[in-house]
A and B are shown apart, each in its own frame.
Chain A
Amino acid sequence: MASEVDITEHRNHIQESFLRFLSHFPLRISKSLYKNPDIDDPILYIWGPGWEGSQQKASFDQECLQWQTFLLFNKIDFKVKNVNEPLISPSGKLPLLYTSPGDIFTSDKIPEFIKNKQRPEDDTEASTPDPETPFICLADTKLRNALLFYLWCEPANYEKVTFHKYGGHYPKPLDTILMYKARKAVIGDLLTRKPILNANEIYEEADEALKAFSVELEDSKYFFGSRSSPKLIDAVVFSYIYTILSIPVTSSDKELHELVHKYKNL
């Protein structure tokens, strides 16, 4: 027995001295010439800069603007980067919130990020039934349909505005290829909600939705007036209306623009 122990001890000894020998290497470690980029605040990757004649920092894309606004509403410090490249995000869509490697938040995960950032006493409110959900849903179907149709299906708008905003930074002929694919995806998305894309019908539905928002808002600063601070629904409706109003008006196809102007309180 004793000899066996000796052998194991002996072996361990050899192993140890071998590891000790290896730990001397590399003999010299010099400072790398490469410096990791400093990240202080989270970065929100968006489509940008904004529309001509409006806030340059605000994204021209409704979804980006919505979350940009919502983060501001929640008083979160973040930087904005105009990447104009949806491939940066695992969902293939902007915006994307980046905090550190491994911590990235696509648009649907941003509320989660905000909740973690806020103080725990706010948590209690999350459990109460949310009156804003059906309104957000209304905006994300009716208003989105109208906005997407307005940008991607009205030929004059697509050629003069959308193409340059979303695809203008790509070299030819990649812009044509990529925008063709993007447009196909948008139309596919629209078709999942509306089997027939009829301009009048889509704008009428948007009109109804706007009317509903106008009624709900009345004269208060934010939706569901009792609250003093803005919520997600405010960011959603703001982003739609701001985007629609900021899109440069082309001579034809300005229906949606006029539609929004009817509701002065929004």
Chain B
Amino acid sequence: MPIAKIAPSVLSSDFAQLASECHRMIKEGADWLHMAGASMYTFHIEATDKPLELIDKIHKAGMKAGVAVKPNTPIDKVYDLADKIDMCLVMTVEPGFGGQKFMTDCVPKVKALREQFPNLDIEVDGGISLENIDQAAEAGANVIVAGTSIFKANDPKDTITKFREKEITMDFDEDLFPLRPQKVGEEILNQDLKAQEALRREREEAERKLEVWVSAAKNEKYYINSFRIEGAKKTRPWLFEAVLNRALKAKTLGDVIQSTSQATSNLSRLDIFKEIDVLLDTSDDPLASPGALDVTIALEEKNRFWVKTGTEIGNEAGSANISLNIRNVFGGAETLETYMSAGTQVSHVFEFCLAKPINGNPDSKIDLSAFSLTRNNQPYSSHDEILRGAALRWKVYSRLGFHEFMVGSTWRQICNIADNATLSIRESAGHSLKSSFTHVFIRDNRDDIMLPSRGYYLKLSQEYAGLGGDIDFIKHELESQINYNLGKGFIFSASLRNGLLYPLDGKPSKISDRFFLGGVQSIRGFRLNGIGPIEDKKDSLGGDIYLAGGASLFTPLPRVRRLQLKGHLFINGGNLVQLHQRLPLYDNIRRLGTAPSVATGFGIVYRSSLLRFELNFCLPLIATTTDKVKKGFQLGLGFNFW
């Protein structure tokens, strides 16, 4: 007997209405609750000129692709795409109007399509009822959008049974349960991140709706009798046990659905499976008590090896990188990454990192890394720095935000001192070994990293060095930003940063540990690291205490509303000083106020999909005798601007 399946849209439908209906459907004869990790993204063929690219994008975003054809569009338009898509939706009414009648002249289109592609899922939508379902089914449709016909029927049980007899899968009417946007069209092509954002939004939406549903049906007694995993070859059973453990304790339908869905989401976020399908089925175990459910998780593992290449630009430097990755190394969702990068400022990087989620939880990972990198600091402080080290990190998301705990050792080497380097830089040459414990906390609720329009960012890091080696200090740094959307395209943004490096052994700090200030991404109107202790107007030495702040007003520009291009007015400033061990800390901090560096200016900001671009006209207001000021135009490319 064919199965009445509640199709993928369940998770993303309007659960407020659907909840009771779904529950009733299970009670009254639906055998399956079908939940999928990935959603289907259906677009209208008429809405785009480049359907193939769009399908590709949708697949890359981890979703299934569907193509919808309006009644007046000839069906042969989809012939070229049919083997690329997962479903074709033949509209049997004009979209946008409720209560229309089934257009019989669409039936030949279904028939023609079925003759060409016997295995394609063909869905019909609009005005379907028990009276005309035969017509559609005979022509070859195998999925119908079950709207009013089911939910408004006098006897849903009977309707479901009848549909089942016709070997038809039911999907839900999206007019009844307004879903994700049907028309994606060109937008997805233009915006690289749009598809992923849509997926994220959809998931959040689904989770929210699921909660509503769960609360409606939470008291019905159900429990999970058994789990079956299909398609796991390399993944070890303990991983599934760890992830699904909570679901096994569920006692009500609400709990079962929520915990299973959570488990599925966790599994998919481990990034080792291509596709995860979860089926909840009433148990066929004769010994099971009433309310027993069998859960089948069908999945496909992703390829074990993958390679990524990319480029990065920022802080007046560019680099190209490649990473070789092995997924699911030991079958417990471990990843092994070997990363290499070469660039202008960081001459080369080699990093090797083995990461492992704790108990299959994608939000709590432990990793072990070893790295070697050469930093070219010649342009602003006439030396190179070679860093080699190893670290053990634990990264975890808590309710407050992201935490990283790290313990590690780094061997730093200040070398290749330029011939014309100043005395202090020359004397800082040498080796040092730092062993430290670091805690980093990040809370970021901005709507965008590069050009946010609302939300705030807070990063706190504390480091204690002195676990071995010859470096002994405590270091604190705070970085914060807040953004307000003032409406009509105006955005106000303010930032505040400070840092303190306090040596515990009475010796002066090393240049590798110090803070640097200045540059288009730090304080505009000054050259890169051009604020603070600078020797002979040439070499930046870095400082131990700093305070920096800025305020920006982003304005809309006429005629370019659609582009991410904005006008920019700013004022920013700060100070960076060396710590005098003889003075009390309070006096040291007070020295920050004595000779600050401040600049103002205006310019334009453009946020492309890859990076933020700034062109400013800078006017330094206050500077010190040693500052490297940048008057006039200053150009900036990068991700992170303050």
Contacts and interface: CB of A to CB of B under 8 A. Distances in A.
Contact of B578 (A22, A25, A34, A36): A34
A174 interface: yes
Contact of A32 (B470, B595, B629): B595
B228 interface: no
Contacts of B541: 34
A31 B595 CA distance: 7
B431 interface: yes
A43 B423 CA distance: 10
Contact of B536 (A22, A30, A36, A83): A36
Given A37-B423, A39-B423, A98-B423, A85 B632 contact: no
B313 interface: no
Interface in B583-640: 591, 594-595, 599, 619-627, 629, 631-632
B624 A174 contact: no
B432, B541, B626: which has the most chain A beta carbons within 10 Å? B626
A87 B626 contact: no
B632 A29 contact: no
B507 to A, nearest CB: 13
Interface in A11-59: 22, 25-34, 36-37, 39, 43
B626 A34 contact: yes
Contacts of B632: 22
Contacts of A22: 619, 631-632
Contacts of A113: none
Contact of B420 (A33, A102, A171): A102
Given A22-B631, A36-B536, A87 B620 contact: no
Interface stretch (B279-287, B340-348, B366-374, B411-419): B411-419
Given A30-B595, A88-B417, A102-B419, A171 B469 contact: yes
Contacts of B595: 30-33
B619 A25 contact: yes
B293 to A, nearest CB: 58
B433 interface: yes
B411 A174 contact: yes
A34 B621 contact: no
Interface stretch (B83-91, B485-493, B527-535): B527-535
A158 interface: no
A33 B417 contact: no
Given A88-B426, A171-B470, A178 B535 contact: no
Contacts of B414: 87
Contact of B621 (A28, A81, A171, A178): A28
A26 B621 contact: yes
B536 A101 contact: yes
24 contacts: A26-B620, A26-B623, A27-B622, A29-B622, A29-B624, A30-B622, A30-B624, A31-B595, A33-B577, A33-B594, A33-B595, A34-B626, A37-B535, A43-B423, A83-B427, A85-B429, A85-B430, A87-B414, A87-B417, A104-B419, A170-B431, A171-B433, A171-B468, A171-B470
Interface of B: 411, 413-415, 417, 419-424, 426-427, 429-433, 468-470, 532-536, 538, 541, 577-578, 591, 594-595, 599, 619-627, 629, 631-632
Interface of A: 22, 25-34, 36-37, 39, 43, 81, 83, 85, 87-88, 90, 98, 101-102, 104, 170-171, 174, 178
- List 10 A-B pairs, minimum CB-CB distance, nearest first: A102-B420, A32-B626, A34-B533, A26-B623, A32-B624, A171-B470, A26-B620, A85-B430, A87-B429, A30-B595
